Amino acid sequence: MVPEPLPFRHGLAPLRIRLPHQESSKTVFEYLSRDHPADSWEQSMTSGEVVDEKGRPWDSESSYAPGRFVYFYRDPVPETPVPFEMDVLYDGDGIVVVDKPHFLATIPRGRHVTETATVRARRMFDCPDLTPAHRLDRATAGVLIFTRTKELRRPYQELFSSRSVLKEYEAIAPHDPTLEFPRVVRSRIIKEHGVMVAHEEPGEPNSETRVELIEVLGERARYRLFPKTGKTHQLRIHLSSMGIPIEGDPFYPEFRSVPGDDFTEPLRLLARAVEFEDPITGSARRFRSNRSLSD
């Protein structure tokens, strides 16, 4: 296996720049200092933390080489820590299963980089190859599976993409005595790029959820949800379309802005369990969250 040009640091991969053609710079240092002035290139090069695609260091005298790559580290912007622990449910046979808290994104993206389940898990296990086999929304808590090696990524990710996993969720939402359960909700959900919320529209359904009533809690109720498909915000949209939006949902039925450091009102949605036939061992697997939506 070809080694990475630079190892992961603090659970994060190094960044990469490709040196453009038709550039007048004489050295790599000159180009980087001009086009990326916020980075401390001289210090990083002296420390051997700026390398090419083969892991060979670039220094302040290295000649400009169009088409070549520059790998380097950049400290992420400070983030407000998510004040909830991520518990480990299982570690063995090449996978790690965690119980993700609300407000913790699955993967580094946008303004959430270090405060993500992926980076926390990599740091926790000192394993830079840990990769999620599927994703949970930042707002959703519950069972999340990681693979430990690159070789295991595809079989486990295909397990989820092929819908070979039984996914069980729980939600707390208003109780409507006129609704009958269990029931199956089908609709056409569309998510446009760059738009925060998804929406339903007429047409051939592309989403399906089975909804069961677990218990009535006065004017509220606890529901069990089995999504057959995995459209963006599917469970939230389906309950909202029934007139029983999930408690704590800032997106549906009406969008409201919530500060990123406000952890006071979680979405009452939990990925309670996943069940599948292991693609490597062939054994039956079931992992269950220990979290409570009443907390």
**Containing H/E element for 225?**
strand 220-227
**Containing H/E element for 284?**
strand 284-288
d(CA 260, CA 263): 8
C-beta neighbour count of 215 within 10 angstroms: 10
CATH (residue range 87-288): 3.30.2350.10
Nearest Cα neighbor of 81 from 256, 258, 260 is 260
pTM (predicted TM-score): 0.87
d(CA 102, CA 248): 11
d(CA 196, CA 179): 29
Task: Give the tokens for residue 109.
Answer: 């993206």
* Residue corresponding to tokens 């040009």: 5
What letter would DSSP give residue 176?
A: -
d(CA 295, CA 86): 15
pLDDT of residue 113: 86
Nearest Cα neighbor of 15 from 50, 45, 41 is 50
Nearest Cα neighbor of 198 from 149, 251, 145, 154 is 251
Backbone angles phi, psi at 67, to 5 degrees: 90, -15
pLDDT of residue 2: 55
Return the SS3 of 154.
helix
Backbone angles phi, psi at 210, to 5 degrees: -95, 130
pLDDT of residue 221: 97
pLDDT of residue 8: 87
* Cβ-defined contacts of 239-242 (< 8 Å, 24+): 239/171, 239/173, 239/211, 241/185, 241/187, 241/200, 242/176, 242/179, 242/185, 242/211
Q: Can you give the pLDDT of all 295 residues of the chain as single tens digits? A: 556 899 888 888 899 999 999 999 999 999 999 999 988 999 999 999 999 999 999 999 999 999 999 999 988 888 999 999 999 999 999 999 999 999 999 999 878 889 999 999 999 999 999 999 999 999 999 999 999 999 999 999 999 999 999 999 999 999 999 999 999 999 999 999 889 899 999 999 999 999 999 999 999 999 999 999 999 999 999 999 999 999 999 999 999 988 888 999 999 999 999 999 999 999 999 999 999 997 5
